[in-house]
């Protein structure tokens, strides 16, 4: 009796593990099914007309029956859509009805395009990147510089896809940063390093009326930010400072620096030098705020942390990783900051602050 029970449990666990093996082995088909379904309007159609038949879907998409059947089978297998077996009809899974539909305010479609057109294609030579310790995926993108961010400056279409993807991520995670960045209550001038299209600064100056902000980023990125700032009517509150923040001086008269979703891009030594530069440039009681995704303290996860660490290695810079809270705190301390504290936030993010 006991033996048969143990064997039953072993078989159940083995089946679970095999399902995980399948997801790892065939996972890229699930991602591509999601992207294709979004691009051709499958999820939009099923959002508007749930419980549609194969024929109705085929007529709407104007594709061959073989193509539609294959895509529907894959989407069902990966849980993107659900089939009513008795009626033979299809509807979106409840999660993807929010995430993969254009008219949904919670969609992640720009992030999918960022993965599809920038990350995904760059991972073909991941083995080479791991062996050589450099971002060999960058070879797909022509242009000057040794990082993805440099080279996107001469590919405006891809640069827009990148920033749309970052804005999509920021829309989900950054409200937690803005609402918890309490140090901004006492600041007069915050410099947002790597501030991108201005998403952070726009939200911060709205949340903290006393605050003025400057975006410190590459010249082409600052041009994108200017457009967003003007749209919001915040040109008197937010300025831009084009340049290389590792090499060029900070704007004058700042008393705070934010470094959001940036530290993970670069290696530990480069971050250490930059944190020291921040410390030296800030006045007494000035603050450095790091906001980013973090790995587990034992560096075993989560999945997003592992995946993005490979992205930083293979294409972005060839040196970054998703670091733990402790790792970041140790580097702030070494740079000279005191009163270091952290706050863990949703989506495996953390806000880590140090005061000079």
Q: Per-residue confidence at 15, pLDDT binned at 50, 70, 90?
A: confident
pLDDT in tens, 321-341: 999 999 999 999 999 998 999
Would you put residue 79 in left (φ > 0), alpha (ψ -120 to 50) or beta? left
pTM: 0.83
* CA gap 139, 219 in Å, rounded: 23
| pLDDT, average across residues 42-46 | 98
Given a contact cutoff of 8 angstroms between Cβ atoms, the answer to whether 161 and 118 are in contact is yes
pLDDT at 153 over 70: yes
Phi, psi at residue 340, to the nearest 5°? -80, 130
pLDDT at 13 over 90: no
Return the minimum-mean-pLDDT range out of 74-78, 101-105, 255-259, 296-300: 296-300
* CA gap 136, 125 in Å, rounded: 7
The H or E element that residue 300 is part of is none
* CA gap 75, 92 in Å, rounded: 9
For residue 174, the model assigns a pLDDT of 87
Q: Do domains 2-99 and 109-355 have the same CATH topology?
A: no
| pLDDT, average across residues 53-72 | 97
Phi, psi at residue 238, to the nearest 5°? -125, 130
* CA gap 275, 332 in Å, rounded: 6
For residue 8, the model assigns a pLDDT of 64
What is the percent of the chain where pLDDT is above 70?
A: 97
Phi, psi at residue 279, to the nearest 5°? -60, -45
For residue 12, the model assigns a pLDDT of 67
Q: Torsion over CA of 34, 306, 292 and 286, rounded to 10 degrees?
A: -160
pLDDT at 214 over 90: yes
**In CATH, which superfamily holds the domain spanning 109-355?**
Vaccinia Virus protein VP39 (3.40.50.150)
| pLDDT, average across residues 203-210 | 95
For residue 11, the model assigns a pLDDT of 72
Q: Torsion over CA of 176, 182, 187 and 190, rounded to 10 degrees?
A: -20
Place of tokens 């896809």: 161
Q: Write the DSSP symbol of residue 196.
A: T
Report the candidate in 175, 234, 222 with the shortest Cα–Cα distance to residue 196. Answer: 222
Q: Per-residue confidence at 19, pLDDT binned at 50, 70, 90?
A: confident
**Average pLDDT across the chain, whole number:** 93
Report the candidate in 73, 46, 66, 70 with the shortest Cα–Cα distance to residue 57. Answer: 46
* CA gap 6, 11 in Å, rounded: 9
Q: Write the DSSP symbol of residue 51.
A: S
* CA gap 263, 71 in Å, rounded: 39
Q: Per-residue confidence at 117, pLDDT binned at 50, 70, 90?
A: very high
What 3-state class would DSSP assign to 287? Answer: strand
Domain ranges (residues) in the chain:
2-99, 109-355
What 3-state class would DSSP assign to 118? Answer: helix
Give residue 86's Cα distance to chain centre: 40
pLDDT at 1 over 60: no
Q: Per-residue confidence at 18, pLDDT binned at 50, 70, 90?
A: confident
pLDDT in tens, 226-236: 999 999 999 99
For residue 193, the model assigns a pLDDT of 97
| pLDDT, average across residues 118-145 | 93
Structure tokens at 148: 């993805």
Q: Which fold has domain 2-99?
A: Arc Repressor Mutant, subunit A (1.10.10)
Q: Per-residue confidence at 7, pLDDT binned at 50, 70, 90?
A: low
For residue 17, the model assigns a pLDDT of 84
pLDDT at 10 over 70: no
Q: Write the DSSP symbol of residue 266.
A: S
* CA gap 119, 116 in Å, rounded: 6
Cα distance from N-terminal residue to C-terminal residue, the chain: 67
pLDDT in tens, 69-91: 999 999 999 999 999 999 999 99
Q: Write the DSSP symbol of residue 120.
A: I
pLDDT at 261 over 80: yes
pLDDT at 96 over 80: yes
The H or E element that residue 24 is part of is helix 2-40
């Amino acid at each position: 009796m006991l033996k048969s029970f143990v064997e039953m449990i072993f078989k159940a666990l083995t089946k679970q593990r095999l399902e995980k093996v399948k997801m790892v082995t065939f996972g890229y088909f699930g991602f591509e099914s999601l992207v294709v379904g979004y691009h051709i309007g499958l999820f939009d159609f099923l959002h508007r007309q749930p419980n549609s038949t194969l024929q109705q879907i085929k007529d709407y998409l104007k594709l061959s029956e073989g193509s539609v059947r294959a895509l529907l089978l894959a989407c069902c297998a990966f849980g993107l859509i659900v089939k009513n077996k008795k009626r033979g009809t299809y509807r979106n899974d409840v999660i993807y009805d929010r995430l993969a539909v254009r008219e949904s305010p919670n969609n992640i479609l720009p992030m999918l395009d960022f993965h599809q057109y920038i990350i995904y294609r760059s991972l073909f030579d991941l083995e080479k990147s791991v062996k050589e310790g450099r971002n060999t995926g960058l070879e797909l993108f022509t242009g000057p510089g040794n990082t993805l961010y440099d080279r996107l400056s001469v590919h405006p279409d891809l640069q827009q896809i990148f920033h749309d993807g970052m804005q999509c991520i920021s829309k989900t995670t950054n409200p937690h940063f803005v609402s918890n960045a309490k140090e901004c209550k006492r600041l007069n001038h915050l410099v947002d390093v790597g501030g991108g299209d201005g998403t952070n600064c726009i939200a911060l100056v709205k949340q903290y009326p006393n605050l003025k902000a400057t975006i410190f980023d590459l010249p082409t990125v600052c041009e994108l930010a200017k457009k967003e700032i003007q749209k919001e009517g915040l040109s008197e509150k937010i300025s831009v400072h084009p340049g290389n923040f590792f090499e060029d001086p900070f704007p004058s008269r700042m008393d705070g620096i934010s470094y959001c979703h940036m530290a993970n891009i670069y290696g530990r030594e480069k971050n250490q030098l930059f944190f020291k530069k921040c410390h030296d440039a800030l006045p007494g009681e000035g603050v450095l705020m790091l906001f980013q995704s973090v790995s587990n303290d034992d560096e075993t996860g989560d999945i997003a942390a592992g995946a993005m660490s490979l992205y930083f290695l293979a294409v972005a810079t060839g040196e970054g990783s998703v670091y733990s809270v402790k790792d970041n705190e140790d580097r702030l301390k070494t740079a000279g900051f005191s009163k270091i504290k952290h706050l863990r936030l949703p989506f495996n993010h953390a806000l880590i602050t140090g005061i000079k």
